[in-house]
Chain A
Amino acid sequence: MIEIKNIIKDFNNTRVLHNIDGKFLPGQPNLIIGSSGTGKTVLLKCIVGLLVPDEGSVYYDKRDFHKANKDEVREIRREIGMMFQGGALFDSKNVEQNVSFPLDLLTDMPRDEKLDRVNFVLARVGLENVNKKMPSEISGGMKKRVAIARAIVNNSNYLFCDEPNSGLDPLTAIVIDHLIEEITEELNITTIIVTHDMNSVMEIGDYVMFMHQGRKLWEGSKQEILHAEVKELQDFVYSNKLLKAVRSEKER
């Protein structure tokens, strides 16, 4: 479980995160949603340690990440897998080398075992026969799958996804959403997804935190979100024309 308490972050005397609290549970996808520029990615970066919050704490299974010593931080980080918005695959390495990278660097696993593990996770994300392809030779959706494979190859306990659907067609986006959901349940890991895609929310939003202008305004599930009485959340949810039409139909 990941717990955050009173996270505050300022940039150049401008507060971008205001006292954010939250509990993210294992075995289910936890979504952080909100419009662009509301601080979702900054919050995610504070949680994974790419940014240090000015105040507040982040607990990984009760281990205070920002107060831990260097070795403990390293230990926690090695339990983290992250899928970046653009995939962040290493350009100079092929798909197999990209996925194998955490194993090469962080484990003493024998070569054959590593290859088996890489092939297993690639098959798990639905990629086969692409081992020797370079990142520039595969599609955006495939890059996201490779990034997920790399994030889970080391048996991570925590998975973070920054805008996993950005730049994907609706169908591929749903496939990626379900892939993340299935992996989260299968491995019983704590997954946090930052998104502004309402389709993702309605597909896999077991726990949803809504942020607006650096503040957490609401939290709940996908079933509750449509009935939430927070104006900013309603504006966000019903900016989707399909959902707006559903609401109009219900009101009639």
Chain B
Amino acid sequence: MKIIGRYFLFLHSLIIKRESFNTYVRLIVDECIKVGIDSIFIVAIISTFIGAVTAVQTAYNIVSPLIPNYVVSLVVRDMTLLELAPTITAIVFAGKVGSNIAGELGTMRISEQIDALEVMGINSSSFLVLPKILACLLMYPLLVILAGFLSLVGGYLAATLTGAMTPDEYIYGIRADFIEYNVTFALIKSIVFAFLISSISAFTGYFTQGGALEVGRASTKAVTTSCIAILSADYLLAQLLL
């Protein structure tokens, strides 16, 4: 409970005594490149393969001749939108960006760079953390959209190249019984996950104490805690919004 209270106080400290708007614009752009552009490659690789594997495994499991082939791509689409694109990408994002945020802030803490900011009269938490959180909130939904698209492409390639179904059947399945709200749901999840990953990782890194060993521990803890928070939030959002 004490840690949760401290976490909320930390979030409060981000929005008080802020620097000028122009300062944040520059920092947010820098962070967007770090958390967004630099994550495209890993997100693209993982989502393409996850889509491909989902298509192959779904086709493998559907053995009844009563079930039409297009159901494979329908399953790939719904799994991608509801779970794989927002949640699996979030786990990857926590591993890449979350650990980076915690490591960076932890190193700045132990090398007194955060103290140096405080002594200058700068709100260090707001200056360092707020741009990271805003950049994640801006970039992560875009990564989820990309992941969703590439997952469907991966499924298409795997399903058609292995001969499990024809291209027309795949496209038909993707368009069949489409519920637009699922896209909204995926984007809501992406915003919640982006906030959880960035704020939890920043909180863990910002309060690191000790030396290099503790920075490593903080990075690991950031990823572990973020993953637990993502999965808990995933369940809660599914219960509340579906």
Does B75 have its Cβ within 8 Å of any Cβ on chain A? no
Looking at the assembled complex, report how far the CB atom of B127 sits from the nearest CB atom of chain A, in whole angstroms. Answer: 8
Please determine whether B115 and A88 come into contact, CB atoms closer than 8 angstroms.
yes
Q: Please give, as numbers and ranges, the residues of chain A lying within 8 Å of B116 by CB-CB distance.
A: 82, 84, 88, 90
Identify which of A73, A76, A86 contacts B111 (C-beta below 8 A): A86
Does B122 have its Cβ within 8 Å of any Cβ on chain A? yes
A160 to B115, CA, bound (A): 13
A74 to B112, CA, bound (A): 19
- Name the residue on A nearest B23 (C-beta): A105
Would A50 and B121 be within 8 Å (CB), given that A105-B19, A105-B23 are in contact? no
Would A50 and B118 be within 8 Å (CB), given that A84-B112, A105-B19 are in contact? yes
1/0 per residue B122-154: CB within 8 Å of A?
Answer: 100000000000000000000000000000000
Q: How many residues of A contact B (CB 8 A)?
A: 24
Please determine whether A105 and B111 come into contact, CB atoms closer than 8 angstroms.
no
Q: Which 3 A-B pairs have the closest CB atoms?
A: A77-B121, A88-B112, A88-B116
CB within 8 Å of A: which residues of B?
17, 19, 23, 107-108, 111-113, 115-116, 118-122
Looking at the assembled complex, report how far the CB atom of A131 sits from the nearest CB atom of chain B, in whole angstroms. Answer: 20
A85 to B115, CA, bound (A): 12
26 A–B contacts, CB within 8 A, in A order: A48-B119, A49-B118, A50-B115, A50-B119, A70-B17, A73-B121, A75-B121, A76-B121, A77-B119, A77-B120, A78-B121, A80-B121, A82-B116, A84-B116, A85-B112, A86-B111, A88-B111, A88-B112, A89-B113, A90-B113, A91-B111, A105-B19, A105-B23, A105-B122, A106-B121, A106-B122
CB within 8 Å of B: which residues of A?
48-50, 70, 73-78, 80, 82, 84-86, 88-91, 101-102, 105-106, 160
Please determine whether A86 and B112 come into contact, CB atoms closer than 8 angstroms.
yes
A160 to B17, CA, bound (A): 24
Please determine whether A91 and B119 come into contact, CB atoms closer than 8 angstroms.
no
Please determine whether A78 and B112 come into contact, CB atoms closer than 8 angstroms.
no
- The CB with the most chain A CB atoms within 10 A, among B107, B111, B115, B119, is that of B119
- The CB with the most chain B CB atoms within 10 A, among A85, A102, A105, A106, is that of A105
Q: Please give, as numbers and ranges, the residues of chain B lying within 8 Å of A80 by CB-CB distance.
A: 119-121
Looking at the assembled complex, report how far the CB atom of A135 sits from the nearest CB atom of chain B, in whole angstroms. Answer: 10
Looking at the assembled complex, report how far the CB atom of B63 sits from the nearest CB atom of chain A, in whole angstroms. Answer: 56
Question: Is chain A's interface secondary structure helix, strand, loop, or mixed overall?
Answer: mixed
A106 to B122, CA, bound (A): 9
A80 to B119, CA, bound (A): 7
A105 to B17, CA, bound (A): 13
Q: Please give, as numbers and ranges, the residues of chain B lying within 8 Å of A86 by CB-CB distance.
A: 111-112
A32 to B121, CA, bound (A): 24
A85 to B113, CA, bound (A): 11
A203 to B22, CA, bound (A): 45
Q: Please give, as numbers and ranges, the residues of chain B lying within 8 Å of A106 by CB-CB distance.
A: 120-122
Q: Please give, as numbers and ranges, the residues of chain B lying within 8 Å of A77 by CB-CB distance.
A: 118-121
Identify which of B107, B115, B120 contacts A102 (C-beta below 8 A): B120
- The CB with the most chain A CB atoms within 10 A, among B19, B107, B116, B122, is that of B116
Looking at the assembled complex, report how far the CB atom of B147 sits from the nearest CB atom of chain A, in whole angstroms. Answer: 28
- Name the residue on A nearest B121 (C-beta): A77
- The CB with the most chain B CB atoms within 10 A, among A85, A88, A101, is that of A88
- Name the residue on B nearest A101 (C-beta): B120
Looking at the assembled complex, report how far the CB atom of A167 sits from the nearest CB atom of chain B, in whole angstroms. Answer: 14
Q: Please give, as numbers and ranges, the residues of chain A lying within 8 Å of B19 by CB-CB distance.
A: 105
- Name the residue on B nearest A85 (C-beta): B112
Please give 9 more A-B residue pairs, beta carbons under 8 A apart, in addition to A78-B121, A82-B116: A49-B119, A77-B120, A78-B120, A84-B116, A88-B112, A89-B113, A91-B107, A91-B108, A105-B122
Please determine whether B120 and A105 come into contact, CB atoms closer than 8 angstroms.
yes
Please determine whether B121 and A82 come into contact, CB atoms closer than 8 angstroms.
no
Please determine whether A74 and B17 come into contact, CB atoms closer than 8 angstroms.
yes
Please determine whether B113 and A88 come into contact, CB atoms closer than 8 angstroms.
yes
A208 to B122, CA, bound (A): 31
Q: Please give, as numbers and ranges, the residues of chain B lying within 8 Å of A101 by CB-CB distance.
A: 120
A89 to B117, CA, bound (A): 10
Looking at the assembled complex, report how far the CB atom of A182 sits from the nearest CB atom of chain B, in whole angstroms. Answer: 22
Looking at the assembled complex, report how far the CB atom of B15 sits from the nearest CB atom of chain A, in whole angstroms. Answer: 14
Q: Please give, as numbers and ranges, the residues of chain B lying within 8 Å of A78 by CB-CB distance.
A: 120-121
